[in-house]
Structure 1
Amino acid sequence: MTMSQSNLDTLSAFDATEFAPAQFVRWFREVAPYVHRFRGKTFVIGFGGELIRDGFLNTLIPDLSLMSALGIKLVLVHGSRPQVNEQLRVKGHNIKFGRQNEPTGAEALECAKEAAGEIRLDIEAAFSQGLPNTPMSHAQIRVISGNFVTARPMGVINGIDYKHAGAVRKIDTNSILRSLEQESIVLLSPLGFSPTGEAFNLAMEELALSAAVALRAEKLIYLTPKAVATQDEGEEIAGELARIEADKLLAAGRLDEDSAVFLESASLAVKRGVPRAHLVPYTLDGSILMEIFTHDGVGTMVVEDKLDDLRPATLDDVGAILQLIEPLEADGTLVPRGRAVVERDVERFTVLEHDGIIYGCVSITPYLSEGMVEMACLIVHSDWQGEGEGELLLRHAESRARTLGASYLFVLTTRTSHWFIKRGFVQGTVDHLPKEKQAQYNRSRNSLVFIKKLK
């Protein structure tokens, strides 16, 4: 039996034949690992004044409130460019700020102060909602803002005096962390102050990046006007990007201006030690929740993958692969293969190697006539587990399967079903396997079938 659409319907995590309560319980349980993982972690979330101008603030705030209630420590960084431009227009100044750093005169600085003040009050008011039968009911969120940011003037660059345009000099991390420990949300406006008392206009993207690095945040999340896309073909760059891939995209010059600015900042954040940087379109309702609490997310995530550790296996690696496999064969987790089988199939393996030591592997077997690829032997040595290497091998297998033109990745497992479910696999049956694999299926082991649709 091939993977028909009717078969796929049976694999849906939200099967229409189930009652709504069962769907809710399943969803809630699937979210639980993310809640446990991120409780107590610090997220820095940056968004431009466009989000407020476009009317998305009141849909965002309940989602942020929920994240705070789940124990995530939030630092919000807002921008104000469209509001500043509107203030300048109203006051008759022939000045308009774009994406690039531009000189900020005294009149523009006053407009920046006014815009920041209005936006801060709007955000505080939105967090103060508490009407019954709304997502904010019973929420008691305290928003803390203040002079957390020390700035310096950009100075004179190529003969141009940037006046009150500034750059971040220092973030008062101790004060911010104390506020976060009191379960408050910290709000940073795009203004910084010098030791002499001067105010400077800052770029939201730089401020959010600096805050995330200084606070050693778990995530830096930019809420963007649209998904990251190329400007020539409009192709969306979704999913996960290694930093080196993000830098190649930027160097190619194919991204639209907004995407390039945000992706460059995300790449730089990861380079400076932030584990994950996300670009999430705010126009999609609930996008930040879907990005954080589902495996595949809805935006673009930049990570610092250890790509140099991944390489195709060779015959010289067979001994090391067997050392990884044999303990799991002994306890029944894996089907016994033996040296001859591994040598025969070695070209299907990819290994993780560091300083000459092979500490992980995975193999893939294509069944392309039915649009499927099998992943097997996904193993990370116990001394290296917990650092994301399993995720790296999975992403590599998914990438190879997509490159081969497959639509589905499947695994057979007896012990690790929860690990795969958490990462977007859905349980299937033997009938969902390719016909050739069905004929090889060992019914005495009664392995569970898990299948993931590839985007």
Structure 2
Amino acid sequence: MAHDVNLLNSLGVRLVLIHGVRPQVEARLNENGTAIRYVEGLRVTDDAALACVKEAAGTVRVEIEALLSLGLANTPMAGAGIRVASGNFVTARPLGVRDGVDLLHTGEVRKIDAAAIRRRLDQHDIVLLSPIGYSPTGEIFNLSLEDVATQAAVELAADKLIFLMDTDGVPDKARTIHHALTVNEARQVLDKPRKLPEDVSYYLPCAITACTGGVKRAHLISRHRDGALLSELFTREGVGTLITPAPLETLRAATIDDVGGILGLIEPLEREGILVRRSRERLEMEIERFLVLESDGVIAGCAALYPFPEEQAAELACLAISGEFRGRGFGNLLLAEAEKRGKKAGFKRLFVLTTRTEQWFEERGFVDSSPDQLPHGKQALYNYKRRSKVLEKSI
């Protein structure tokens, strides 16, 4: 993980790291025989506990700095000279009394000195924050990692907030990891009456808070998976759960700027004989007939709707989903949108010609038809050598 962080820094990624000390503090408290008290899930930080917090934070910070200082001989990272900056960037205040119990030195973030952090980032330093904050009167407060990370991300207007967890991401009911969730979907996960992994219950609310506070994306990934950080950032599918303020997918009418993306999507299917070949010139002329589904700025699918107004019918053609996006229901989204647009235009039926995907359409309400049931204009163009199956659906 340290090597991955150094690599990101060398690529010009501006990094702020926030570490926790929860297990180290509890281990020290147990070693000292100090009683640990909790109120509403918050540990009461008395003088003895605060001493353990300071000791643990100092030790963990030094160990992280040492790891980030480690160079790899005979690699481009040798002698990289990574600098780590720490300091009193976090101003805190006491949480006060909860349920009649004074939480003492347990606090919450009051302010992040974003300007000072940015100055260090401008010098290509990695900024390292501990879960400790200071008051203007010189008091020290024990903070939660989640609070520091969330507030720092919001006040820095970070592009990403990444939580490293013991689990792979946010699981669904079948224990499969969600690839991506909007803020609203993430709230629904939290509202469902089922037990989530403990770290997910910590971090998912923070991801929601960050995204509603202006952070573009939050990621929940496993700290145990080798290369998870780089895979999450530099592969389209990622390895954990991505939280975004709005859906990654956008369904819209195609424009002339989409021609290249559509060609890249359909050409492999044309070579396999699944789709009829379309030249760039034809696609440019017919682009107003096309819908595209974008996922994270990439064209993931397309479909075309050709009207035959005299017969109150429309052909659904060139329905295609990129291989890496299959299995996510994108085909259903395009079909539903085509039906909606066809119905709005006054058409009574939708028909398709297919050689390989007959069953898929039948599962979605299409029934067998024949070439002589096609609109007259389409009958004249029907390729009897290709012998495509004709299916139709009332809309």
- Residues 134 and 84 of structure 1: is their aligned pair in 2 closer, same or farther, counting only changes over 3 Å? farther
Partner of 1:374: 319
| C-alpha displacement of 1:230 | 4.2
Partner of 1:288: 229
Q: Distance in 1 between matches of 2:200 and 2:21?
A: 18
One-letter code aligned to 1:237: I
| C-alpha displacement of 1:154 | 0.5
| C-alpha displacement of 1:264 | 1.1
- Taking every aligned residue pair, what percent have the same amino acid on both sides? 41
| C-alpha displacement of 1:239 | 1.2
Partner of 1:236: 176
CA displacement, residues 392-432 of structure 1 (integer Å, 9 cap, x when unaligned): xx98x96324879xxxxxxxxxxxxxxxxxxxxxxxxxxxx
One-letter code aligned to 1:434: R
1:116-131 alignment runs, 5 A limit: 116-131=57-72
Match of residue 114, structure 2, among 173, 176, 181: 173
1:47-86 alignment runs, 5 A limit: 60-86=1-27
Q: Distance in 1 between matches of 2:282 and 2:28?
A: 66
> Is the aligned partner of 1:246 residue 2:186?
yes
CA displacement, residues 62-117 of structure 1 (integer Å, 9 cap, x when unaligned): 10000000000110000000000011011111217799323211111110100000
Q: Is the 8 A contact 1:213 1:274 kept in 2?
A: yes
Count of equivalent residues: 305
Partner of 1:387: none
- Residues 230 and 403 of structure 1: is their aligned pair in 2 closer, same or farther, counting only changes over 3 Å? farther
Match of residue 168, structure 2, among 219, 224, 227: 227
| C-alpha displacement of 1:300 | 0.5
- Residues 84 and 98 of structure 1: is their aligned pair in 2 closer, same or farther, counting only changes over 3 Å? farther
Please, what TM-score do these two structures have when normalized by structure 1? 0.59
One-letter code aligned to 2:356: P
Q: Distance in 2 between matches of 1:107 and 1:135?
A: 46
> Is the aligned partner of 1:182 residue 2:123?
yes
| C-alpha displacement of 1:162 | 1.2
Partner of 1:156: 97
Q: Distance in 2 between matches of 1:280 and 1:100?
A: 23
Q: Is the 8 A contact 1:270 1:302 kept in 2?
A: yes
- Residues 128 and 144 of structure 1: is their aligned pair in 2 closer, same or farther, counting only changes over 3 Å? same
Q: Distance in 1 between matches of 2:157 and 2:137?
A: 28
One-letter code aligned to 1:399: R
Match of residue 356, structure 2, among 434, 447, 450: 434
One-letter code aligned to 1:69: S
Partner of 2:328: 399
One-letter code aligned to 2:281: G
Partner of 2:377: none
Q: Is the 8 A contact 2:90 2:112 kept in 1?
A: yes
Partner of 2:200: 259
Which stretch of structure 1 is more off in the superposition, 67-76 or 101-110? 101-110
Which stretch of structure 1 is more off in the superposition, 151-160 or 97-106? 97-106
Q: Is the 8 A contact 2:29 2:36 kept in 1?
A: yes
**Structure 2 unaligned spans of 5+:** 260-278, 305-317, 334-354, 361-395
Partner of 1:102: 43
Q: CA RMSD in A?
A: 4.0
What secondary structure is seen at the aligned counterpart in 1 of 2:281?
A: coil
Q: Distance in 2 between matches of 1:328 and 1:224?
A: 38
Q: Distance in 2 between matches of 1:194 and 1:310?
A: 46
Q: Distance in 1 between matches of 2:257 and 2:140?
A: 63
CA displacement, residues 249-287 of structure 1 (integer Å, 9 cap, x when unaligned): 011143222212111111111011100100110110010
Which stretch of structure 1 is more off in the superposition, 276-285 or 254-263? 254-263
Runs of 4 or more above 4 Å deviation = 96-99, 324-331, 335-339, 349-352, 360-365
Please, what TM-score do these two structures have when normalized by structure 2? 0.67
- Residues 76 and 399 of structure 1: is their aligned pair in 2 closer, same or farther, counting only changes over 3 Å? same
Partner of 1:316: none
Match of residue 240, structure 2, among 289, 296, 299: 299
Q: Is the 8 A contact 1:239 1:299 kept in 2?
A: yes
What secondary structure is seen at the aligned counterpart in 1 of 2:283?
A: coil
Q: Is the 8 A contact 2:207 2:218 kept in 1?
A: yes
Q: Is the 8 A contact 1:221 1:278 kept in 2?
A: yes
One-letter code aligned to 2:329: R
- Residues 87 and 402 of structure 1: is their aligned pair in 2 closer, same or farther, counting only changes over 3 Å? farther
Partner of 1:203: 144
Q: Report the structure, 1 or 2, having the larger helix content.
A: 1
Partner of 1:357: none
Which stretch of structure 1 is more off in the superposition, 329-338 or 188-197? 329-338
